[in-house]
Amino acid sequence: MKMQREEKQLDSALEAIIMRVNDLKSAIAAMIFKLENEFETLNWPNFLDNFALISGHLTSLSKILSHDKAPNLKSLTILPLRLSPDKDEELLRLTEGRISTFLHDLVPDYLRTKPEPQAEQKMLQLEAKAANLNYETSHDYNKQVAQYTKVINHVWDIANKTREEWESEAGSRTAQAQTSSASDTHSLVAAVGMGKGLKSDSIQMVQPGVNSVASSMMVGRPGNQQQTPNQSPLVQMGKAPSTIKTNIKAASQIHPYGR
């Protein structure tokens, strides 16, 4: 009777533990899915809600394991009843497709109740190192952490301030009035380079104008049609006729003290 009662308690405890483990597994899978697929829209409150859900499942599992009526699982041993290299559909269903065969090389890993020897040794070394730390060493560590946190916060403030300045400068540049026109620039380039938009009657050539002035000068003075040898063509073409008559005499004729 006692054995039967203990077996019933064990079965009920294992069923409750399996339910809590499945809930915990579902919560962890949902959180991993959100981190991998919804990281762009995931905010901090939703992340804390998922973390609180996982923490609640862990608390429930701890209560079940620490209950007075719960069996002491540490005193129990799991032994494989049958080892076969063939594919087991029932095992595949129970493990949700993770294990298809129960072989000799898989039993030590799946039925292990303690960490691997290397991991256990590393954990013991870390625990011994943490236990041997004195107050001064831990205080120095905390001081270094505080200094690093202060430096990181200072760098963060500088980065935020620089970003705000860049955003304000970019906004002021876009708000300035436009002082140029692309269409006018293209029109000027086309006019200078290809003469586009310029009228032909507004362009005055210099040489034809000079020739016309020179021809009018020659026509207005019929008595002076012959050119003197020392008179340059530029004077003939560019000098306008004068209406003032002058009588230029030699300097020796008008000098009062002539020899």
Whether residues 88 and 131 fall in one domain:
no
Quick one: pLDDT at residue 177? Answer: 60
Quick one: pLDDT at residue 64? Answer: 86
Q: Where residue 8 sits, what CATH number does that domain have?
A: 1.20.58.1710
**Domain membership flag for residue 197:** no
**Domain membership flag for residue 219:** no
- Give the Cβ contact number of residue 3 at 10 Å: 7
Range in 66-70, 193-197, 218-222 with the lowest mean pLDDT: 218-222
Q: Is the pLDDT of residue 107 over 80?
A: yes
Q: Is the pLDDT of residue 249 over 60?
A: no
The more confident residue out of 196 and 50 is 50
Whether residues 109 and 120 fall in one domain:
no
**Domain membership flag for residue 72:** yes
Query: Hey, what are 218's tokens?
Result: 């020659």
Phi/psi at 185 (5° precision): -65, -45
The SS3 of residue 74 is helix
Quick one: pLDDT at residue 257? Answer: 57
Q: Is the pLDDT of residue 201 over 70?
A: no
Give the mean pLDDT of 226-240: 46
Q: Is the pLDDT of residue 72 over 50?
A: yes
Q: Is the pLDDT of residue 113 over 60?
A: yes
Please give the tally of structural domains in the chain. Answer: 3
Whether residues 105 and 124 fall in one domain:
no
**Domain membership flag for residue 129:** yes
Whether residues 104 and 149 fall in one domain:
no
Residue 15 structural domain: 1-76
Quick one: pLDDT at residue 212? Answer: 46
The SS3 of residue 102 is strand
Percent of the chain residues past pLDDT 90, beyond the cut: 13
Q: Is the pLDDT of residue 54 over 90?
A: yes
Quick one: pLDDT at residue 101? Answer: 86
Whether residues 108 and 128 fall in one domain:
no
Are the CB atoms for 80 and 111 separated by under 8 Å? yes
Alpha carbon distance 181, 59 (integer Å) = 71
* CB-based contacts of 58, cutoff 8 Å, min separation 6: 24
Quick one: pLDDT at residue 77? Answer: 79
The more confident residue out of 113 and 242 is 113
Range in 93-97, 111-115, 241-245 with the lowest mean pLDDT: 241-245
Whether residues 44 and 83 fall in one domain:
no
Whether residues 4 and 54 fall in one domain:
yes
Query: Hey, what are 235's tokens?
Result: 């004077």
Whether residues 84 and 65 fall in one domain:
no
Over residues 12-46, the pLDDT tens digits come to: 888 888 899 999 999 999 999 988 888 888 888 88
Averaged pLDDT of the chain: 75
- Give the Cβ contact number of residue 36 at 10 Å: 8
**Domain membership flag for residue 246:** no
Whether residues 9 and 71 fall in one domain:
yes
**Domain membership flag for residue 194:** no
Question: Of 129, 144, 166, which residue is a domain's last?
Answer: 166
| The model scores a pTM over 0.85 | no
Query: Hey, what are 34's tokens?
Result: 């959100």
Whether residues 107 and 122 fall in one domain:
no
Q: Is the pLDDT of residue 237 over 70?
A: no
Whether residues 106 and 139 fall in one domain:
no
**Domain membership flag for residue 226:** no
**Domain membership flag for residue 205:** no
The more confident residue out of 220 and 73 is 73
The more confident residue out of 242 and 93 is 93
Whether residues 120 and 141 fall in one domain:
yes
Helices in 66-181 by DSSP H: which ranges?
89-94, 107-110, 117-131, 135-175
